[in-house]
Amino acid sequence: MVSQSEIAQRVVEAILSQKLAPGERLGEQELADLFGVSRTLVREALMQLQARGFVEVRTRKGWYVVEPSFDEARDAFAARRVIETGMLRDAGKPLQSALRRLRQHVADERAAIAAGDAATRTFLLADFHVCLAECCGNRLLADVMRDLTARTTLVALLYQSTHDASQSCDEHAAIVAALTRGDNAEAERLMRAHIGSVQGALSESSPAAGDELSRLRASLTPLRVAKP
């Protein structure tokens, strides 16, 4: 049986890949049918996601993916800027195995971009920051980064980001190259510039807001992303 945590993870992955959009409804019964579990288990998963800031419950309407305000978007990017630059400043030189993993991650990003696989590309570009935290040896920060990158992914979709995927990939590659040289100060500078360029591509004007089970099935289909 699918667990509460697995349901929550699938929802977060769908957000990271932009397969679930801000303001989308998450019907309890539809999710229960999709995962073959009880509505009670689904409700527990949604409450977990609510505590993490990904979904909200609307009175007499149900559960919805959150729609962050522009001020909340600024806060999320400010938090990422502090955490990620500080992480790189304090990391020391990563192990060779960690550097190989980061280089492979960037190669996977390039492959998804070349293949035109929008969902996998979007997921990998966001997941790079989680992978970086793991490679710097801080699993607690990796969990924090997973939630922050999911929130900024929602922001990018809601506020019509014009940031180019290839540009993000190139910026990731430059950060990894600086770490490989042992130049953490340059990696920190590049990360600050990268987060700034992603944030700067947002438009403050958000866009205006079928079958429920079919839509959820398409959104929550697991991505075929290779695990390290």
Shared domain check, 152 and 85: yes
DSSP-based three-state secondary structure for 113: helix
Spatial CA neighbour of 172 closest among 143, 197, 139, 141: 197
- Indicate the number of domains in the chain: 2
Shared domain check, 152 and 99: yes
What pLDDT does residue 138 have?
80
Phi, psi dihedrals of residue 58, rounded to the nearest 5°: -110, 130
Range of the domain at 177: 70-200
Phi, psi dihedrals of residue 66, rounded to the nearest 5°: -65, 155
Phi, psi dihedrals of residue 139, rounded to the nearest 5°: -70, -30
For 101-113, write each residue's pLDDT tens digit.
Answer: 999 999 999 999 9
Shared domain check, 62 and 85: no
**How far is the CA of 146 from the CAs of 47, 51, 93, 132, in angstroms?**
18, 14, 22, 11
C-alpha of 48 from chain center: 17
Shared domain check, 56 and 79: no
Mean pLDDT of the chain: 87
Q: What's the CATH code of the domain at 134?
A: 1.20.120.530
Look up the pTM and report it. Answer: 0.80
For 181-217, write each residue's pLDDT tens digit.
Answer: 999 999 999 999 999 999 988 877 655 444 555 555 5
* pLDDT > 60? residue 35: yes
Shared domain check, 32 and 99: no
Order of all β-strands in the sheet with 55-58: 25-26, 62-65, 55-58
162 lies in some domain = yes
* Better pLDDT: 213 or 128: 128
Q: What is the mean pLDDT of residues 136-160?
A: 86
Least confident of 72-76, 127-131, 136-140, 220-224: 220-224
Shared domain check, 141 and 117: yes
For 36-87, write each residue's pLDDT tens digit.
Answer: 999 999 999 999 999 998 999 998 889 999 998 888 889 999 999 999 999 9
Q: Are 204 and 162 in contact (CB under 8 A)?
A: no
| C-alpha–C-alpha distance, residues 69 and 148, integer Å | 15
Q: What's the CATH code of the domain at 14?
A: 1.10.10.10
